[in-house]
Structure 1
């Protein structure tokens, strides 16, 4: 009997303690000021409110709950920012606390365990990786020495368009642009080694498309705790297949590079000229004096990052741009007059060196990036508790800065749904006010601050140069108005392929 009473007292003590602790926690939580947001459901949070195009769902919710709102994607707390003013608080004032990226299971696997520069945690290795990107891989000297690769691939693309146009054959413009950017990146990164046949090129292209798609998909297992480890969407299998293909290609190419490097060293013909970006990475890998150990997986992860960040993004931006120009012929004609003037009435093909004399073309690229940003979000994750704009933001909160929404905000842009490059034309021809490298929070398609995209310089050469060549050389004939519907992905591809007949404007000099 006494023993029963003891158990009863112990039970009551535990019950009262639990109630007391729960009350304290509840009061503490109520004292914390959290951003506004819709009512969440148990377990799934707000996942039921998110469509296959999350940026559009976030935009619709922001019209009701404001430019800073809280959502729960399953058990993961998130904040969504939809205005430049609030974005500045997170990405400038509190940047140190929001310098990590949210990394999904698929992205973690695709990046060899986040061993590249895109998704590495903020810290010593990431700073080392960024220096490699900015000073060696994607610096001005390297890009200058590899300009001939970009020029050759532009000519190859234009010859294909010319042949199709002369035969009055419609082409999938987005597909051809993806082949162009894939060839540029492949040759800059790996040389000719892995693109010796059309089958190799098509294989790499398909792999890049699949990678971008899988990296951008919302996977329930990333957000609902009891689904972790479950492959509900079959993503693990697809990611595994991609990694097997990619790793096989990379091991073959690295071995070939190592053999060639060994041969040149034995013959004493090593020089200063850059072969390709893989040679730079292998130099770093073999240099034992580096402050950080740079493994073979780091080499492959860097290359995967470059493919992910530099291939479909540039192709999609050019496809959106030419689609907007077809739907806005007066803009197309104005751009064409500027290009014709710069090339002395088409006596030669437009070049990268001409971009400084093409302010209207640069404005077209900016207007395209405003309406169709390279990626719909800037995604970060908080590393510690913060108070931003008067709200308490706990550690491990995922931050989404909705660039797509900010580009359509009528408070920021007059007639935001209209394609008007003139909004970026300054009276004194000084367009630095809207620099796209992250200095202006209204327009930051490449991100901002510490984690700004290191490939911005390359993109801002490839995209406008090839777009200018497309405008200069061809009339783009379509049936009716071009659809501007979007498709899900890590980037924002067009839902419907752009099918055009590229009719040559004059006797093309190639």
Structure 2
């Protein structure tokens, strides 16, 4: 895969920090307390002031971390300016951390922009794992994302999948050039909107498309959001805020849209069916005696994170999987044979068929292994601890490089090749502890108590979306192959560098 070298605004900013504020960092560097003989994890060679920053400038962050680990080891202590980092790139080290220190690494770090509706202080994603967070997670799982709740909302997803197929068929007849990721994102957001907000979320008024537009804009700004997250404390002292105005402009528009939809929901609450999640949120919001108070901002932030996280991650996974499928005709042929045999050609695939479609499930898992939605999983140690005999101080950032773990040649045969059949093998039997360690080899949705609560829904949405695309259409693309280059720089979601565009052709 071609290495991409990018001197964009992100790198200009970093170099600006290096040369514009050396005095401040020298002060911090030379006046910090020595480690007093504390045995830290091994490290790569570093430079004064900037630490290991020079090793992270010329490629995507997960690939830079992967190169460092390949040379110096899978468990390392790094430093970027004042920020200490423990970098983990092996399943065994990840297993030890999440098995013995899950509570200690359940904090995602300080919030860079409190007011932002996505990943701000009112959101679920960055909330600390206190009683309020546990209450909200219980509500989310029981009313929206748990197995029983998903079964109760299955008819909504079936209706939206049929609508998705009809819409694609209409566009295919007009020979329009479509972006697969964009179509998938709108499907996911329409589905989530109907599941949570019922008829107040209008597909006819393009509410799903509007939500998608704001999600895309926030994703485009995520580079600077990530940098601000890393350098939050020193930047705050210097009075610097990266793109805060731009981020908040999008955030405010997103919040306004959600507020209008929420008001519409409240005005027609008696007309809604199958929206127990929103009903439960509003009941908690209005209950003055509830132990854990939910505000209106909490509700809108939760919806925004749901749309942004699920919409972006599902569309990204669909793009990667479809690119691999189109580039591998034999995989496409085997996938179609399975779908045609189980579903037939006269019925549209639905999620009830998924347990009988193991190869489709394997294709999605293999795509997530090679192209994880979250390439790196950041956390923060909230207490001093010892891991592998090494001391880790409170406040140290933890980075699990899921990208490297899932391409580790010690865990995966031919780790850089797309081979869905590897997930068709029987699951490894053994003691519970052995199974947990094996699970750490595959981390597409995180791990521990802060793992993604929407894992089951995510699989369902992506598998049915890909199922419809493969079952019902062929595709006309430019050139012989899809360009599989990754987008460069810091970003929340690993994505293709170029949109996956093609003309859909109804399959005969």
TM-score by length of 2: 0.85
The secondary structure found in structure 2 opposite 1:384 is coil
Offset of residue 474 of structure 1:
1.0
User: Which whole-Å CA distance do the structure 1 matches of 2:154 and 2:442 have between them?
Assistant: 27
User: Which whole-Å CA distance do the structure 1 matches of 2:435 and 2:155 have between them?
Assistant: 25
User: Which whole-Å CA distance do the structure 2 matches of 1:80 and 1:33 have between them?
Assistant: 16
Offset of residue 170 of structure 1:
2.6
Q: 1:427 to 1:391 in 2, by over 3 A?
A: closer
Q: Is the 2:91–2:437 contact (alpha carbons within 8 Å) kept by the matching residues of 1? A: no
Offset of residue 208 of structure 1:
0.9
User: Which whole-Å CA distance do the structure 2 matches of 1:244 and 1:312 have between them?
Assistant: 19
1:298 partnered with 2:298: yes
Q: 1:226 to 1:101 in 2, by over 3 A?
A: closer
* Residue range with higher mean Cα deviation, 158-167 or 174-183: 158-167
1:214 partnered with 2:221: yes
Q: 1:91 to 1:66 in 2, by over 3 A?
A: same
User: Which whole-Å CA distance do the structure 2 matches of 1:504 and 1:66 have between them?
Assistant: 50
User: Which whole-Å CA distance do the structure 1 matches of 2:229 and 2:240 have between them?
Assistant: 7
Corresponding residue of 2:184? 177
Corresponding residue of 1:377? 376
User: Which whole-Å CA distance do the structure 1 matches of 2:427 and 2:374 have between them?
Assistant: 31
The secondary structure found in structure 2 opposite 1:322 is helix
Corresponding residue of 2:162? 155
Q: 1:101 to 1:366 in 2, by over 3 A?
A: same
User: Which whole-Å CA distance do the structure 1 matches of 2:243 and 2:435 have between them?
Assistant: 34
> Which of 201, 217, 236 is 1:228 aligned to?
236
> Which of 128, 134, 141 is 2:135 aligned to?
128
> Which of 35, 38, 44 is 2:41 aligned to?
35
Corresponding residue of 1:285? 285
Describe how 1:300-339 pairs up with structure 2 within 5 A.
Answer: 300-339=300-339
Q: 1:169 to 1:300 in 2, by over 3 A?
A: closer
Q: 1:446 to 1:258 in 2, by over 3 A?
A: same
Q: 1:171 to 1:276 in 2, by over 3 A?
A: farther
1:91 partnered with 2:98: yes
The secondary structure found in structure 1 opposite 2:411 is coil
The secondary structure found in structure 2 opposite 1:219 is helix
Corresponding residue of 1:412? 411
Corresponding residue of 1:3? none
Corresponding residue of 2:473? 474
User: Which whole-Å CA distance do the structure 2 matches of 1:107 and 1:62 have between them?
Assistant: 33
The secondary structure found in structure 2 opposite 1:228 is helix
Q: 1:350 to 1:197 in 2, by over 3 A?
A: closer
Offset of residue 133 of structure 1:
1.4
Corresponding residue of 1:499? 501
User: Which whole-Å CA distance do the structure 2 matches of 1:172 and 1:464 have between them?
Assistant: 18
Q: 1:338 to 1:121 in 2, by over 3 A?
A: same
Q: 1:149 to 1:451 in 2, by over 3 A?
A: same
1:359 partnered with 2:358: yes
**Consecutive unaligned residues in structure 2, runs of 5 or more:** 1-29
Offset of residue 49 of structure 1:
2.4
Corresponding residue of 2:13? none
> Which of 220, 239, 254 is 2:262 aligned to?
254
* Residue range with higher mean Cα deviation, 484-493 or 223-232: 223-232
The secondary structure found in structure 1 opposite 2:441 is coil
1:47 partnered with 2:49: no
> Which of 136, 147, 171 is 1:164 aligned to?
171
User: Which whole-Å CA distance do the structure 2 matches of 1:129 and 1:214 have between them?
Assistant: 28
Q: How many residue pairs end up in the alignment?
A: 471
Q: 1:111 to 1:466 in 2, by over 3 A?
A: closer
User: Which whole-Å CA distance do the structure 1 matches of 2:372 and 2:482 have between them?
Assistant: 18
Offset of residue 455 of structure 1:
0.6
Q: Is the 1:173–1:499 contact (alpha carbons within 8 Å) kept by the matching residues of 2? A: yes
Root-mean-square deviation (Å): 2.9
Larger radius of gyration: 1
Q: Deviations over 1:154-176 (max 9, x none)?
A: 22222232233334433211221
> Which of 141, 145, 170 is 2:148 aligned to?
141
TM-score by length of 1: 0.85
**Consecutive unaligned residues in structure 1, runs of 5 or more:** 1-21
Q: 1:229 to 1:147 in 2, by over 3 A?
A: farther
Q: 1:23 to 1:81 in 2, by over 3 A?
A: closer
Corresponding residue of 2:461? 462
